[in-house]
Amino acid sequence: MSIENSLLLTLRAAAAEDPGRECLRIVGESFTRQEALRCVEQTARGLRALGVEPGDRVGVMCGNRAEYVWTWLGANAARAVDVPFNAEARGRLLEYFVADASPRVLVGTEDYLQILAQTSNCDPEFVVCIGECSSQPFGDRCRQLSFEDLLALGAASAEELPDPAPGDIATIMYTSGTTGPSKGVMLPQRSYVVQAHNMVQVMEVDAADVILCVQPLFHIDARAFLTAALVAGGTGVLGRKFSVSRFWDDVRQSGATVFATIGTMLWMLYKQPPRPDDADLPARTAMCSSTPSEILRGFEKRFGVQVVEAYGMTECTLLTAAPPGSTVPGRVGRAVPGMEIRLVDDHDFPVAPGQAGELVYRTGEPFAMMQGYWAKPEETAAAWRNLWFHTGDLLRQHSDGMFEYVGRKKDSIRRRGENVSSWEVEQAASAHPQVLEVAAIGVPSEGGEEDVAVLVVPSPGAVIDPAELVEFLRRDLPRFAVPRYVEVVESLPKTPSERIEKGKVRERGITAACWDAARKG
């Protein structure tokens, strides 16, 4: 199976091979390879007709739907850069995203365009509204057209679309910051295809497979599984969003043979009351990350699927994995082919066998992973020091070659598949007039991964109401980053230079005195 240099070339090759074969199903709509190619190329030509040049950014914000896929792939086909904004981002975080990326075009449904217009002072030249649009969210600040107008512009154009170069930047995808704001991961055109080939090999899928993912397209997971289906020659199915009550119906109705999950989703599904038809599923494989080790075997037995446990990140989708039938509870597999991995200490020297160390990696494939952080050369250099990419995650390698995920070295929190920047939570909380100091940490969650907690020191003479503080934070934080726990403390541990010592804060954790949003007490 050859590796094309871009998704456009991959889709063109697939359409030439079998134009009438279904390749995409998304929220009730179905598209053949030829139909998908036509929509992608019309979108690309429509963007070019607006004057979009190679390297221009095209921002998109909406839920999963076909137009989202056409925007992503169409921007790439025009050699522009698609920038997916997290649909839950609000306030200062969303304003930062838009200002940082400075998109020339914004695409979204009316509700999200209204949010963008109210939040951002950085206006695009064009706004493209998906679906019905009864208003002009940006007013006269830019030109607005419908997605149908964009496709019509493309249909009327005969402009050739040159093949993108493998190293052209295809996407800027924002991922959690650690000691600073979120960073835009620059993914090259070829990286999507290389990572898809790796996933196809690990999951052992082919043209007969239907691959389901209900995660959002502003995350790398949904894009990775969709491109894996395309590379394998099968059908990719994207759902609207995860629902515990609806998920197994989605699997059955779609005929999914493989589905994507994260550990929290598996835990929520496993905790539902058993049903006689639990194992009556078309699926044979679930590809997952962060699966709670205590439920893995029980989940496989109850639902009749094999769990492929894997480890990856936005910067490189798949680093380690265990093929079907070889997953060990608590392990994340071995390095995938073509990936060179080391575990190192604070000075980048390899750790002794069996010891935990920071996972660093590099790949021999050209343009197979991120090319840097958008407009952040210092952060890029720091991440790539000594010519290895530093993940900030601690792992341990066992004698059988399997890796075990240990925890985070970097200051971020993993909640329900989302990376939460402690720094961004702290910045938002510091804006509250009654907060003097704050430290945000992750604490273990009953469903695996972590919940967000903040420890706050009141300003002199102030009294902090935890419930009111959480409501205050909702203005500037996406839902998944809003703290569940608030603990008011007299002081926070400091270094000699008067910086908050986060290691000691994490070691302390929270106590019974904290306020818990889940119990509102």
Question: Strands of 105-109's sheet, edge to edge?
Answer: 143-146, 126-130, 105-109, 57-61, 81-84, 169-175, 183-188
Instruction: Give residue-wise pLDDT tens across range 3-38.
Output: 999 999 999 999 999 999 999 999 889 999 999 999
pLDDT over 90 at 114, yes or no:
yes
Q: How far apart are the C-alpha atoms of 222 and 288, rounded to whole Å?
A: 12
What residue type is assigned to position 107 of the chain? V
Q: Give the pLDDT confidence score for residue 478 in this predicted structure.
A: 87
Which distant-in-sequence residues (6+ apart) come within 8 Å of 503 by Cβ?
Answer: none
Q: What is the pTM of this model?
A: 0.85
Q: Give the pLDDT confidence score for residue 516 in this predicted structure.
A: 92
- Give the bridge partners for 143, in sequence order: 126
What pairing do the DSSP bridges indicate for beta strands 105-109 and 57-61? Answer: parallel
Q: Give the pLDDT confidence score for residue 263 in this predicted structure.
A: 77
CATH architecture observed for domain 189-408: 3-Layer(aba) Sandwich (3.40)
CATH architecture observed for domain 7-186: 3-Layer(aba) Sandwich (3.40)
Instruction: Give residue-wise pLDDT tens across range 247-262.
Output: 999 999 999 999 999 8
Instruction: Give residue-wise pLDDT tens across range 172-194.
Output: 999 876 666 889 999 999 999 99
Q: Which residue from 334, 308, 272, 291 is spatially nearest to 200, judged by alpha carbons? A: 308
Instruction: Give residue-wise pLDDT tens across range 116-162.
Output: 999 988 999 999 999 999 999 999 999 999 999 999 999 999 999 99
**H helix intervals, 132-216:** 147-155, 189-203
Q: Give the pLDDT confidence score for residue 177 in this predicted structure.
A: 63
Q: Give the pLDDT confidence score for residue 179 in this predicted structure.
A: 60
pLDDT over 60 at 279, yes or no:
yes
Q: Which residue from 378, 508, 500, 379 is spatially nearest to 443, judged by alpha carbons? A: 508
Concatenate the DSSP letters of all residues of 262-298 into one string. -HHHHHHHHTSPP-TTTT--S--EEEESS--HHHHHH
* Domain 412-516 belongs in CATH node 3.30.300.30: yes
What is the rounded average pLDDT for all residues in the chain?
92
Distance of CA 469 to the CA centre of its chain: 27
Q: Give the pLDDT confidence score for residue 112 in this predicted structure.
A: 98
For 35, the enclosing helix (H) or strand (E) is helix 33-49
Instruction: Give residue-wise pLDDT tens across range 298-324.
Output: 999 999 999 999 999 999 999 999 989
Helices 33-49 and 7-17, axial angle in degrees (round to 10):
140
346: left (phi over 0), alpha (psi -120 to 50) or beta: alpha
Contact by Cβ (8 Å): 310, 331: no
Q: Which residue has the tokens 């394998």?
A: 232
Structure token pair of residue 97: 């995203």
Which distant-in-sequence residues (6+ apart) come within 8 Å of 497 by Cβ?
Answer: none
Instruction: Give residue-wise pLDDT tens across range 71-102.
Output: 999 999 999 999 999 998 888 889 999 999 99
Helix (H, G, I), strand (E, B) or coil at 341: strand
Contact by Cβ (8 Å): 306, 324: yes
Contact by Cβ (8 Å): 46, 152: yes
Q: How far apart are the C-alpha atoms of 104 and 122, rounded to whole Å?
A: 10
Instruction: Give residue-wise pLDDT tens across range 324-380.
Output: 999 999 899 999 999 999 999 999 999 999 988 999 999 999 999 999 999 999 999
Q: How far apart are the C-alpha atoms of 483 and 6, rounded to whole Å?
A: 40
Number of H helices, E strands in the chain: 15, 26
Contact by Cβ (8 Å): 344, 361: no
**φ, ψ (nearest 5 deg) of residue 227:** -70, -30
List Cα–Cα distances, 353 to 68, 310, 329, in angstroms. 45, 21, 20
Q: Which residue has the tokens 């300003």?
A: 459
Structure token pair of residue 508: 């302390």
Q: How many residues does the chain have?
A: 521
- Give the bridge partners for 444, in sequence order: 450
Q: Give 268 or 39, the one with higher predicted confidence.
A: 39
- The domains of the chain are located at 7-186, 189-408, 412-516
**φ, ψ (nearest 5 deg) of residue 80:** -90, 180
Q: Which residue from 164, 226, 161 is spatially nearest to 196, judged by alpha carbons? A: 226
Report the pLDDT averaged over residues 158-168: 97
pLDDT over 60 at 1, yes or no:
no
Q: Give 45 or 512, the one with higher predicted confidence.
A: 45
Q: How far apart are the C-alpha atoms of 496 and 410, rounded to whole Å?
A: 21
Q: Give the pLDDT confidence score for residue 409 in this predicted structure.
A: 74
Which distant-in-sequence residues (6+ apart) come within 8 Å of 236 by Cβ?
Answer: 23, 24, 25, 211, 213, 225, 226, 227, 228, 229, 230
pLDDT over 60 at 521, yes or no:
no
Instruction: Give residue-wise pLDDT tens across range 448-504.
Output: 678 899 999 998 888 999 999 999 999 988 888 899 999 999 998 876 555 677 778
Q: Which residue from 410, 487, 425, 420 is spatially nearest to 450, judged by alpha carbons? A: 420
Q: Give the pLDDT confidence score for residue 520 in this predicted structure.
A: 62
Residue 318 DSSP code: E
Instruction: Give residue-wise pLDDT tens across range 218-249.
Output: 999 999 999 999 999 999 999 988 898 999 99
Fold matches, 7-186 and 412-516: no
